[in-house]
A and B are shown apart, each in its own frame.
Chain A
């Protein structure tokens, strides 16, 4: 029997828990040549700002051990071009999640307002965490009061599912998670990239023109799993987990830690078929392990161990 792979993120129903992560899948155009995008649980598009952004100077990417540093700088065509690209995706019948970025509250609001009536848009994912743009992301996502105010403003503007995407570049991610939840977010997604740096010893210069960049890929996975565990343990909202997922086994770790769905970013670059392969892999795991629905796995690793439990949960720790 085929296991039931469907999951819910707030009111949003996904036929399976796997979606590409923002910024790693453009607007889907580049990957539709490899498989039917209709197989995906959802499609998350590139971070979108009100006006077009040129992005950062090159070089923008550098490989690190099992990881990737990037400083794209939110290059995107702006809301109106993005709208056309998003409408194109409607043909796949898959919920489209728009990743929203901005310099200031007004810019986030203008993107959400402009796209809120768009039927092709199923949800907004608020990128309060992009570490690349000097005046942007970082300051929003690292202060709980700012996140509370921003999410609150956006909540007033849209009925659509509102997902706040958290940055890992904070001391206590649960504090930010709670602020987003209190402001009325429907779900949380995490993690965005970890601020990092690499230096070329031959030229004795940083490898990125932007000097620093966001680290993603398998190198960040244990950090991401830990943060998903913490956040899922203290906020009563569905969590979309991501950070270094390369195969079904990685996706399972996130779900067992408490994620209701997962996003796959950097792995698309080395394996364009990674998303459908993970979907297949989840079905195989459920069948073999005797689960009739993938949602039964969510948070299973959180159940008390048979022997004496050790370690810390997310909450009640502060």
Chain B
């Protein structure tokens, strides 16, 4: 169930230049592929009138901070009872503010949100991550492995430093294959260069998250190989809960092109629904 909670920072470390691993303690149960909307506003400012009369500041006159105005969507990178882990790249004002949180500070989190990855009964699975796209796939890999599935994890980035959390991934028991554009680690070239071969020896569905061109290339290869392909998309969001209609993507359903909300009907979609569709439709 979606909840609004204040979680406290258990640890917060930089795992690569500009990339942070944020461990929060608190009870939030999420499925792989789901995300949360995080308030990046500094802890010291009363976020809202949530505090009750008589407990500290006066609700009627408390002024909530309002800039940056919106919460930021971040994927669930890992989730265990009492712990929620996020992995994020500093991309602008909001994530810069978030990066300033210290252990013990609290973070206002709305979630879990969206649809998780569909877990088929298949014994095998191929996960394809590009850069920070590893965020939701890490939790998916762990979940699949714990269910006894065989996971082939293809991980691409511009350079070695962009292969975040690759050691932890390898330790989790997934078979990890790396690719970098500059050849500093693994295959020299795009991660899709690994996918062709992978499709030949692993019969499982493909789950992908990463930059748009990568997702399109993965979808194309899967279509040619007639392999099920699931992608996790990003969209600019305002509410995260389905109310504002701000985050839509054109999707093909039963032959018809319609706008679907990334936050509630996604962020996980079947590749053929989103990539067979002309972006200017419907």
Contact = CB atoms under 8 A, between A and B. Distances in A.
A75 B49 contact: no
A55 B243 contact: no
Interface residues of A, number: 49
A29 B242 CA distance: 9
Interface string B220-262: 0000000000000001111111111111111000000011000
Interface stretch (B65-73, B116-124, B196-204): B65-73
A46 B245 CA distance: 10
A206 interface: no
Interface residues of B, number: 45
B189 interface: no
B8 to A, nearest CB: 19
Interface string B248-282: 11100000001100001000000000000001101
Nearest to B48: A271
Interface string A20-31: 000111100111
A278 interface: yes
A223 interface: no
Contacts of A217: 66, 69
Interface stretch (A90-98, A103-111, A281-289): A281-289
A157 interface: no
Given A24-B243, A75-B245, A247 B238 contact: no
Contacts of A54: 258-259, 282
Nearest to B54: A284
Given A247-B48, A281-B49, A272 B59 contact: no
Nearest to B67: A66
Contacts of A277: 48-50, 59
A271 B64 contact: yes
Nearest to B248: A58
A252 B279 contact: no
A82 to B, nearest CB: 14
Given A269-B238, A271-B48, A284-B60, A218 B4 contact: no
A281 B63 CA distance: 11
Interface in A82-132: none
A202 to B, nearest CB: 10
B2 interface: yes
A268 B65 CA distance: 14
A269 B280 CA distance: 27
A76 B59 CA distance: 35
Given A252-B60, A269-B238, A68 B247 contact: no
Interface string A241-279: 000001111001000000000000010111111100110
Interface in B1-55: 1-2, 4, 39, 47-50, 53
19 contacts: A23-B244, A24-B243, A26-B243, A30-B243, A57-B279, A58-B249, A66-B67, A66-B69, A67-B69, A218-B69, A246-B66, A247-B62, A247-B64, A248-B59, A268-B243, A271-B48, A281-B60, A284-B53, A288-B60
Given A271-B64, A288-B58, 16 more contacts: A24-B243, A25-B243, A26-B245, A30-B264, A31-B241, A33-B2, A57-B279, A60-B246, A63-B68, A66-B67, A72-B244, A269-B239, A272-B4, A274-B48, A278-B49, A284-B58
